Chain A
Amino acid sequence: MSGDGGPRWSPLAVWAAREVQREAGRSCLLFAFLFLLVAIIATPMLFSHALAVTWTRWMEQTPHLVVRRIDAGGWAPLPAEAAVHYARKVPGALDPTPRLWGVATGPAGPVTVVTAPADLPAEGLPGQRPPAPGEAVVGRAVADAAVDNHLVLEQMDRVTLAIVATFPDNSVMVTHDLVWVAPPDARRLLGMLPDQASDLAVRLFRSESASAVAADLAAAFPWPVRIIDRDTMTEGLRRRAMGKGVAALMLSLPALLAFLWVMTGAVTGPAGRSAYWGVLSAMGWTTADLVRLQVAKALLVGMPALAVGLAVACGAVFHPMAAAWTAFLLMGTQQLPALALDGSGAVVMLLQIAAVVGLPFLAAVFLTTLRGVEGAARSTMEAGQWH
């Protein structure tokens, strides 16, 4: 207790703190259980959210529209000059740029072959000079599979390349299977003539006009094309990212919440306390007082547990060492994405965790106390530990 000069804490809150200290074992058990549960639930949610944010940021570097020529056999090369000529006729379509890229077979499976810095994420090119003919800059997965720093790729032709550099680790999510080569090597490998391109990248003055410009572009070309817009691709990637962690979480969430309910009831419930609650009731504590006391205790234990659980989840997603294992558990790969989370994303995450764990926890405390308090005074005075 404190005198007039001391802090004016609500006596109920101070008593709740005293009870947390008094029941140290139960409080520690509840704390450990809650923080583990928060960490288990928050990690996949945070991972998915950060993955979606990161992919969205990378997608912002890509062209608004990509035009690909198709025929009965699927994808077909574009005549580059003609494609640019047709695209320039469409109002709103800016800077049509032919791109040369494709898929080839590498030593450990398919790889993506690119030829221009514009096709690469900014994170993959710090101070990197373009590869000369016979050279390649490769992603982490390709480098690991190479023998003697040389790479053999096959598609329409067989090409042997010397690896001169590797893309940095922080770009691994989009560069891990990437091979950057000189245009002559790419043409040889992919079987493309000098005037041919894989597709046409188009920038827009306003991204909102993507669907309208795409329709005009489709009509402008004299051959069938397929046009992919950035927003659709971003949305698809975002859904894929959210699905990675959230799907697993959704499957286990009912079991986790049931466990939360049972554990909270067991730890904060009336077992061993009915006599005590009866004494309090006999001294004028109302049901509301007892519920407030239990909720205050739950908050005193639950809030730090929530904070620690979220901190552990952040560490599991953003700390380089732990994030590799998290990525392995959730995505089946230890290729480490350098994830990011925006401010609003963090707030949304906090609210989601509070809703998923905090509300059921407080509801369990509330209902368990309400059930335990019922008739406490009578049952306690006539039976129980006092006799």
Chain B
Amino acid sequence: MALNAGLACHGLRFGWPGEQGDDRILLQAVTAWFQPGRVSLVTGATGAGKSTLLHLLGGLLRPVAGEVRAEDQPVSRWPARHRDPWRRRVGMVFQHLALVPDLSVAENLLLPLVPRGMKWSAMQAAITRQLEAVELGQLAAKPVYTLSGGQRQRLAIARALVGAPRFVLADEPTAFQDDRQAARICAQMGAVARTGVVVVIGSHDPRLRNASEVDDRWHLAAGRLTAVGPPQAAP
């Protein structure tokens, strides 16, 4: 595998502006390489910066220092006019889901596809396929506000995957799921990764920590990201 493939960050530093004008540093000198074809899990305590790291990787935030490279392209240094269309290659599952509640389930999946100039038939096929994959096929016409928390989260996953992204960044994708659905989501992420996609999951869900589909494990603490050992056997 080429070393320039996948998603990498080098010396990544980020902080939110503090009330006194000083920056509250959340990430400092984060360096990592998330390989295509593998599922990478980033763990860490609440507030450690997992979501922020995913947003930095997805081009939603700009680092204070360092850079994010996608397939060896310095995407974090790109101006918005280049970075915005690049996000079409990123499937993001937000911790707070960011669904549009008054739209239907199918319409939420349509949103990432509209600006891509796809044929209606291709969009329809992609939406149907993803809804079946997350077991929401019967709910396509329902407004999102009628769904349960778990169903909404699976819809958010489907929306991230509907555009066949090269990079999947999932923030707590199993938080609202029962064990069966959590296992199914792990398997789904694994299957996506096997197609050559970079999959990065930020979570502190123990079910994910122990999942066999996870290939690489990282731990985020005190603003630093460190690789941890091979996956442990399930108890």
A contact residues vs B (CB 8 Å cutoff) = 1-4, 6, 8, 11-12, 15, 18, 22, 275-276, 278-287, 289, 377-378, 380-382, 386-387
Contacts and interface: CB of A to CB of B under 8 A. Distances in A.
Interface in B201-218: none
A15 B108 CA distance: 12
B1 interface: no
Nearest to B96: A386
Contacts of A2: 120
A4 B84 CA distance: 29
Contacts of B124: 1, 3
Nearest to A275: B98
**Which of A282, A287, A382 has the most B CB atoms < 10 Å from its CB?**
A282
Given A285-B115, A286-B81, A381 B98 contact: yes
Interface of B: 55, 58-62, 80-81, 84-90, 92, 94, 96-98, 100, 102-103, 106-107, 110-121, 123-124, 159, 163
Contacts of A378: 60-62
Contacts of B55: 381-382
Nearest to A375: B80
A281 B60 CA distance: 9
A45 B125 CA distance: 53
A284 B80 contact: no
13 contacts: A3-B120, A12-B114, A15-B114, A282-B87, A283-B87, A283-B112, A283-B163, A284-B87, A284-B90, A285-B114, A378-B62, A380-B98, A386-B94
B114 A11 contact: yes
Given A279-B98, A377-B60, A1 B115 contact: no
- Nearest first, the 10 closest Cβ-Cβ pairs linking A and B are A284-B88, A386-B96, A283-B112, A284-B87, A286-B84, A289-B115, A11-B114, A4-B121, A377-B60, A279-B98
Given A282-B98, A382-B61, 19 more contacts: A3-B120, A4-B120, A11-B123, A15-B114, A22-B103, A276-B100, A279-B111, A281-B84, A282-B60, A282-B87, A283-B88, A284-B87, A284-B89, A284-B90, A285-B84, A286-B115, A287-B84, A386-B97, A386-B98
Max chain A Cβ within 10 angstroms of own Cβ: one of B86, B111, B114, B123: B114
B162 to A, nearest CB: 10
A297 to B, nearest CB: 13
Given A378-B60, A381-B94, A1 B110 contact: yes
A13 to B, nearest CB: 10
Most buried by A among B106, B121, B123: B121
B52 to A, nearest CB: 9
B104 to A, nearest CB: 10
A308 B101 CA distance: 34
Given A284-B115, A285-B84, A386-B97, A3 B123 contact: no
Contact of A381 (B60, B62, B111, B120): B60
B75 to A, nearest CB: 13
A387 B51 CA distance: 13
Contacts of B89: 284
B120 A284 contact: no
Nearest to B160: A283
A286 B87 CA distance: 9
Contacts of B112: 283-284
Given A3-B124, A11-B113, A287 B80 contact: yes
B103 to A, nearest CB: 7
A18 B107 contact: yes
Contact of A284 (B81, B85, B107): B85
Contacts of B119: 4, 8
B105 to A, nearest CB: 13
A1 B94 CA distance: 26
A3 B58 CA distance: 32
A279 B109 CA distance: 12
B220 to A, nearest CB: 18
A381 B113 CA distance: 20
B62 to A, nearest CB: 8
A115 B106 CA distance: 81
Contacts of A1: 106, 110, 120, 123-124
Contacts of A380: 98
A24 to B, nearest CB: 11
Which of A284, A286, A378, A386 has the largest count of B CB atoms less than 10 A from its CB?
A: A284
B121 A284 contact: no
Contacts of B121: 3-4
Contacts of B102: 22
Most chain A beta-carbon contacts within 10 A, residue among B61, B102, B113, B120:
B120
B81 A387 contact: no
A11 B81 contact: no
Contacts of A3: 120-121, 124
Nearest to A23: B102
A114 B24 CA distance: 93
Contact of A283 (B61, B111, B120): B111
Nearest to B92: A282
